[in-house]
Amino acid sequence: MRVALRLAYEGSSFSGFARQPKQRTVEGVLLQHLRKADLLENPREVRYEAAARTDRGVGALEQVVAFDSPRLPTPAELNSLLPPDLSVLSAAAVPPTFSPRRGALFRHYRYVLPLPEPFDLREARRGAKLLETAHTFTPFSKQEPGRYRSCKLFLVGIRAEGGVLKADFVATNFLYQQVRRMVGALLSVGRGETGVEELWELTRAGGKRGWEPAQPEGLFLARVGYRGLRLPPDPQAVDRFSEHLAKIPTLRSAEMRRTLVDEFESLNKGRTGDFRIWQGISPR
């Protein structure tokens, strides 16, 4: 059977998601324990696939992986094997052809950081609207062979809440380091270091000018959306991961914990809509 898992990880103790020799990565730890539990039907050809590849230090609340397995494990079974900074929030049987990467309708990332002073939020929002309609993302990505070279942005939003700056990005897919570089651009506009006119030119014509990526500590993958598939979190798994996040005194951990608890409470109240996506956005 084909199994899909929804993973959550805080990120700071991992050297990224993808497997790397002699490095502790999310994928490496997960596959190691799946093999120990005899959950991979054929360890050499498991048809294993992930929805996204997050960089070193980046967290996630809904990373989705799929693989062929002789049975469907429970989140409790898997979490009893996994370290506390990696949790399986849900597990589901999916069609044999399910691909978490190709089947994703959208990916939603959120970035949080202390609100800079001074910071012109209105100008940053003007910059965010320009990014939504950009003709090119060359200045906001690091091109590498084998990576996506285009994407369709649905939403770029930025707001301030209680001294915290939050930026959300929703797209079909993202280029390498694109989200962190767009955060860098919006911070530059908000601080008055870059004018909206210059940003407009770069989003239309491209050019050599680009931004250094913002630090990974503020970024997490909030959601991956699919047609006809939802992976609601298991109550015990929510408690397990929330307890781990509560022990980490960072803005991102607090935001991830709040977002996860809000989702769980929303589902308990019978709300089936995606409260994490801005109203009016309906990814297709």
CATH fold of the domain at 2-103+227-248? Alpha-Beta Plaits (3.30.70)
Crossing angle between the packed helical segments 121-132 and 178-190, to the nearest 10 degrees: 140
pLDDT of residue 152: 84
User: What is the CA angle 109-112-114, rounded to 5?
Assistant: 165
pLDDT in tens, the chain (284 residues): 999 999 999 999 999 999 999 999 999 999 999 999 999 877 666 789 999 999 999 999 999 999 999 999 999 999 999 999 999 999 999 999 999 999 999 999 999 999 999 999 999 999 999 999 888 887 888 766 655 567 788 999 999 999 999 999 999 999 889 999 999 999 999 999 999 998 888 888 766 666 788 999 999 999 999 999 989 999 999 999 999 999 999 999 999 999 999 998 888 777 555 444 443 333 33
* CATH class of the domain whose range is 106-217: alpha beta
Annotated active-site residue in 55, 85, 234, 274: 55
Q: Is 262 a catalytic residue?
A: no
Cα 210 to chain center, whole Å? 22
C-alpha 86/C-alpha 38 separation (Å) is 19
Place of tokens 């091109």: 143
Q: What one-character DSSP code corresponds to residue 110?
A: E
pLDDT of residue 281: 36
pLDDT of residue 138: 79
Same fold, 2-103+227-248 and 106-217: yes
- Enumerate the domain spans of the chain: 2-103+227-248, 106-217
